[in-house]
Amino acid sequence: MKFLQISVLACCLGVAGGHESPHAKVARLPLQDVQWTGGFWKDRVTTCYDGMIPSMWEIMKGTEYKPFLQHFRIAAGLAGGRYRGAKWNDGDFYKWMEGVCAMLAVRPDAEWEARLDEIIDVIGQAQREDGYIHTPILIAARNGDPEAKPFSDRFAFEMYNMGHLITAACVHHEVTGKDNFLKIAYRTAAFLEEAFSKPSEEQARHAICPSHYMGILDLYRLTGEKRYLDLSAKLIGMRDLVAEGGAGGDDNQDRLRFADQKEVMGHAVRANYLYAGIADLYAETGDASLKRTLETLWQNLVEKKMYITGACGALYDGASPDASSDQGNITRIHQAYGRNYQLPNTTAHNETCANIGNLLWNWRMFLLSGESKYMDVLELTLYNSVLSGVSLEGKDYFYTNPLRVTDPLPIPLRWSRERVPFVTSYCCPPNVVRTVAQVNGYAFAKSEQALWINLYGTNRVATTIGGEQWVLSQTTAYPWDGKIRLAMDTCGTEELALRLRIPGWASGAALWLNGEKMSVASDPGTYAIIEREWKAGDVVELQVPMEAQLIESHPLVEETRNEVAVKRGPVVYCLESHDLPEGVRLADVRVPSDIALAARHDQDLLDGVHVVSGELTVHEDAQWDGGGLYRPHKRAKAKAVEANFVPYYAWANRGPGEMSVWLPLEIR
């Protein structure tokens, strides 16, 4: 089986296919240009390829939980039955397909490619002649429901599903060179062009969870056909019709015109998909007003509404806006960003899809600007609130990602605090699959005569810059160790700048070239630049200090006031009850302000992790007796215990138990 050697860049990355976005400072590398050859990410993508993708296929090809492929078979008339599932399950299936395509980019497999072709044939048979494809409506219409019509319910997630179809089809074409899925995408886009040729305010409200902005721009980048750029701009622009008509709400980010928005708000997945799509549009149009608003919203996110893990969407239910004088505009908010500094821990929603949306948005902001701060957030999110969404064996998933779990919980909570193989809202598991399957695409980027090293891990990049072939091998135990070695295996004749990201937390980074220390600026939160004529065998070494640190939050974050968390490098840590002595509960534990933290690697724990250990204080009489709300203060007896903190992403892999990222600080 032969694969076309063309640009393979998926939706999580944004499809390019050789297209150069005129207003982006940095360009993506094709997925097949980067291979993980060992270490942390090699282990995770192997689990993805050998565990996550096939186990999810077993769920999606059958009907034990909910139909996925079977829905397309019913819609095509190949089987009988009714639709039974969430309205967005089509999109979940397309995301899984995208993950398979990303796998094929670096690990060709004739069996998986043939399986995709069989699936695509069924999807094509289900699609209407006019290009409409949404199995809940198609099945209802086939079963005789006269009310089954497109866009009759703004919460039917039609646009979301179609957006993921278009992206998956673009990725499939770029990986395999086939156009069978792409033809379905063309017909889908043509349907949207016709349906929204003269958009009304009511039509404009059908932008729930807008993956279609990114998808249609993927199609534009792949084909170069301006009609798709125009379509995306129209679909984004028509959101303002809702705001101007007074029918919008914060839940779907359409109460205000986009240009007037100052805070990230509403349903966090919908918000982050919107911001990522608009960043894509700016990359093509250069509309300065779009970038200004994106930068304002990003600043609000990272300074006032983002968890230490990079997670987003603090509230399961809430309301907006804050202003009591604006009673007429208060709307219900679901799975949403809270108010500034409103970051609860036990009840934190933090949907995995929202965290992935944060990653998508920051990746695009990095491409626009070349600024390290966006990659810092991407890395934080990736190592913590994205990886936490899947078990170490790759078969069970979180829908929500809390930062504290107690036994018992203070109130009943809808979503499980243990990973499970399936939930009816199955959007998050395939989203994790496609993200992990293409994490190699975030590791590097390029610009004119420059190679950008964004994520550190043992890998090999072979790409073309300035018309010449460059091959670089990276060796490191990152994120457990801050020593990174880069060896130039093949180089061109022209000068090339290596741009090495110095994370914002990495004070005191140092660089060596062929064993000699360099006097190159390596300030935290920047890219260190080494520009020269290279020769094969040149070696660059980067050392970034990785001291375990106590982190405190802004004092207006009331839930974590006078509490601390542990962070080492890009990894946030937590304390699980599994790592406390028998009979000691998390509520009894305090962190001394003078604690000495030590890190060591434990290959036998949680598939091999660095643990951070230290001596904690246990207040033995801290238990609350009785049901009273208040009582006189009791001075508790204290004793010291040794405990291990483990990476947050790996929590809940040893059975039920308590967990917390934040712990009370004991001043000494």
According to the model, what pLDDT value does residue 627 have? 72
According to the model, what pLDDT value does residue 350 have? 97
Asked whether residue 11 carries a pLDDT value surpassing 50, the answer given is: no
Q: Which residues pair with 487 in a beta bridge?
A: 473, 539
Rounded distance, CA 381 to CA 391, Å?
Answer: 16
According to the model, what pLDDT value does residue 241 have? 94
318 or 627, higher pLDDT: 318
pLDDT, tens only, 34-60? 999 999 999 999 999 999 999 999 999
pLDDT classification of 412: cutoffs 50, 70, 90:
confident
- CB 622 within 8 Å of CB 588: yes
Task: Summarize the confidence of residues 238-245 as an average pLDDT.
Answer: 92
Backbone angles phi, psi at 220, to 5 degrees: -65, -45
Exposure b/e, 292-306, CB count within 10 A at least 16 = b: ebbeebbebbbebbb
According to the model, what pLDDT value does residue 16 have? 46
Asked whether residue 365 carries a pLDDT value surpassing 60, the answer given is: yes
pLDDT, tens only, 540-588? 999 999 999 999 999 999 999 999 999 999 999 999 999 999 989 999 9
According to the model, what pLDDT value does residue 471 have? 98
Share of the chain above pLDDT 70, in %: 96
pLDDT, tens only, 332-357? 888 999 999 999 999 999 999 999 99
- CB 222 within 8 Å of CB 19: yes
Measured between alpha carbons, how far is residue 82 from residues 73, 141, 196, 225 in Å? Answer: 11, 10, 29, 38
Side-chain-facing half-sphere of 62: CA atoms under 13 Å: 9
pLDDT, tens only, 50-89? 999 999 999 999 999 999 999 999 999 999 999 999 999 9
Asked whether residue 5 carries a pLDDT value surpassing 60, the answer given is: no
Rounded distance, CA 196 to CA 194, Å?
Answer: 6
Asked whether residue 325 carries a pLDDT value surpassing 90, the answer given is: no
pLDDT classification of 13: cutoffs 50, 70, 90:
low
16 or 376, higher pLDDT: 376
Helix 180-195 vs helix 158-176: angle between axes, to the nearest 10 degrees?
150
Q: What is the average pLDDT value for the chain, to the nearest integer? A: 94
Rounded distance, CA 99 to CA 93, Å?
Answer: 10
- CB 362 within 8 Å of CB 381: yes
State the burial class of residue 36 (Cβ atoms within 10 Å of its Cβ: 0-12, 13-18, 19+): buried
- CB 496 within 8 Å of CB 470: yes
DSSP classification of residue 451: E
pLDDT, tens only, 134-167? 999 999 999 999 999 999 999 999 999 999 999 9
Asked whether residue 399 carries a pLDDT value surpassing 80, the answer given is: yes
pLDDT, tens only, 455-501? 999 999 999 999 999 999 999 999 999 999 999 999 999 999 999 99
Share of the chain above pLDDT 90, in %: 86
- CB 69 within 8 Å of CB 122: yes
Measured between alpha carbons, how far is residue 421 from residues 157, 429, 431 in Å? Answer: 23, 9, 14
Range with lowest mean pLDDT among 20-24, 183-187, 321-325: 321-325
Q: What is the largest CA-CA distance in the chain?
A: 77
Sequence-ordered alpha helix ranges (H) in 107-249: 110-126, 135-142, 158-176, 180-195, 201-204, 211-223, 226-237, 239-245
Task: Summarize the confidence of residues 622-638 as an average pLDDT.
Answer: 79
